[in-house]
């Protein structure tokens, strides 16, 4: 019993030291490469006020000097200054001008955010929102609750996964996007929202008080007795690496791990790098190429210890950005087997620029390569085992991708047992 407790303490200590040391290492690197905003929300927001014309000029200069492609998509950048400088009178004029400039780059990841949009982005980084605590998705035109966060107003009100949302505060959600519905559900703290649901062909009405919800980016559980299942929803939160360590501790007695990155569109690059490093004792994690074509390698810390368990990563066409950094690093270093479908293919890196008037700009400043030097932008990462997952599978509560991952993990565990027996 004493040995078991001691081994757990050592395990926790090792994981903590790996993540702490690597985070310090990253923080010492060039800030142009590592897109780590200061997580103090007061410093993420630029409270300086300026007139619309100056906001435009500041944006124009940043794009000209920092954008990844120094040719700015093969155009004379001064034309935008000449075209707009005498036309900008209002904030809306400035927004139109800045968005037009960014659109000319033909880069979907570089975007200007008005005050409301920038606040929403910072909320995600801070990992807190005001709402009721549900995750939703659109399936066959219906807005379905796919999960309910524990100990939230929604869970206390008896809302369940699988419930279909019909109306929010008397407004039909038919034809609305997920973002539209999420906006209707969110609101000011301590206000109420009325939701009409459909469950087993019966309509239910719930009146729920909105509260501050701590966003959980990671869920961990033990499946089939000895397989740890860790789902990473996003890499955006400043608390994300701490959550991952908690997940590892929860599954530490398992002989194999499945990390689910399906639908994870990415987030903060350092989070992916830190997690990859936990599984590596040496080697490249990712390479970053800047606007001057200078390549910087981010390497795993040389160390005698790392997590060494059979590992499968689940991916799909929604797996992007930081998720692809983690998948690519562990695949190229032969530390993980990838199962699912080809990833999205977002190999570009953005920096967050806090702008005056509490606005912001996400600007592409570099691209990345996997440890084997592969540029995955617009190409994605191919899984080792391609397995589809259809809407019908979801509706029938089946997950062929997870089933395949469990089969692989069990074979790897059995192989380890046989090797241990033979030796």
403 catalytic, yes or no? Answer: no
Residues forming beta bridges with residue 198, ordered by sequence position: 164, 203
Pair 78, 63: CB distance under 8 Å: no
321 catalytic, yes or no? Answer: yes
Pair 295, 289: CB distance under 8 Å: yes
First to last CA, the chain: 26
Burial tier of 123 (Cβ tally within 10 Å: 0-12, 13-18, 19+): middle
Virtual CA dihedral for 213, 214, 215, 218, nearest 10 degrees?
A: -140
Pair 381, 313: CB distance under 8 Å: no
Catalytic residue (one of 66, 346, 351, 367): 346
Catalytic residue (one of 147, 287, 321, 327): 321
Pair 256, 309: CB distance under 8 Å: yes
Conformation bin of residue 334: beta by default, left when phi > 0, alpha when psi is -120 to 50: left
Neighbours of 327 (CB within 10 A): 28
Catalytic residue (one of 66, 287, 332, 406): 332
Query: Cα–Cα distance between 347 and 190 in angstroms, integer?
Result: 41
234 catalytic, yes or no? Answer: no
Sign of the dihedral through C-alpha 301, 302, 307, 309 = positive
Residues forming beta bridges with residue 178, ordered by sequence position: none
Catalytic residues: 321, 332, 346
């Amino acid at each position: 019993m004493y040995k078991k407790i001691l081994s757990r303490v050592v395990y926790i200590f090792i994981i903590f030291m790996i993540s702490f040391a690597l985070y310090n290492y990253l923080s010492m690197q060039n800030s142009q490469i590592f897109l780590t905003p200061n997580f103090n929300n007061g410093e993420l927001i630029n409270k300086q006020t300026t007139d619309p014309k100056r906001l435009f000029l500041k944006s124009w200069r940043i794009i000209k000097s920092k954008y990844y492609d120094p040719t700015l998509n093969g155009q004379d950048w001064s034309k935008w200054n000449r075209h707009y400088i005498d036309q900008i009178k209002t904030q809306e004029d400035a927004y139109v001008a800045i968005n037009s400039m960014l659109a000319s780059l033909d880069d979907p990841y570089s975007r200007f955010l008005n005050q409301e949009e920038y606040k929403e982005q910072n909320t995600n980084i801070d990992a807190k929102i005001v709402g009721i605590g549900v995750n939703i998705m659109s399936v066959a035109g219906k807005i379905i609750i796919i999960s309910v966060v524990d100990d939230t107003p929604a869970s206390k009100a008896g809302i369940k996964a699988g419930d279909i949302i019909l109306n929010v505060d008397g407004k039909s959600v038919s034809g609305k996007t997920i973002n539209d519905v999420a906006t209707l559900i969110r609101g000011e703290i301590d206000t109420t929202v009325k939701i009409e649901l459909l469950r087993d062909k019966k309509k239910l009405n719930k009146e729920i008080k909105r509260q501050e919800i701590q966003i959980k980016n990671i869920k961990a559980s033990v499946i089939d007795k000895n397989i740890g299942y860790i789902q990473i929803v996003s890499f955006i939160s400043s608390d994300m690496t701490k959550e991952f360590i908690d997940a590892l501790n929860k599954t530490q007695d398992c002989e194999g791990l499945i990390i689910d990155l399906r639908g994870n569109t990415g987030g903060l690059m350092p989070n992916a790098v830190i997690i990859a490093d936990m599984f590596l004792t040496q080697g490249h994690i990712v390479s970053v190429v800047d606007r001057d074509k200078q390549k910087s390698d981010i390497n795993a810390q040389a160390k005698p210890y790392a997590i060494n368990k059979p590992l499968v990563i689940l991916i799909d066409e929604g797996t992007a950005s930081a998720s692809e950094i983690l998948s690519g690093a562990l695949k190229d270093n032969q530390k993980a087997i990838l199962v699912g479908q080809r990833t999205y293919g977002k190999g570009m890196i953005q920096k967050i620029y806090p702008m005056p008037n509490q606005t912001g700009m996400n600007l592409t400043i570099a691209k990345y390569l996997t440890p084997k030097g592969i540029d995955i932008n617009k190409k994605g990462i191919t899984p080792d085992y391609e397995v589809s997952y259809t809407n019908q599978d979801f509706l029938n509560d089946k997950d062929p991708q997870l089933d395949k991952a469990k089969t692989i993990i069990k074979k790897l565990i059995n192989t380890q047992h046989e090797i241990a027996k033979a030796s």
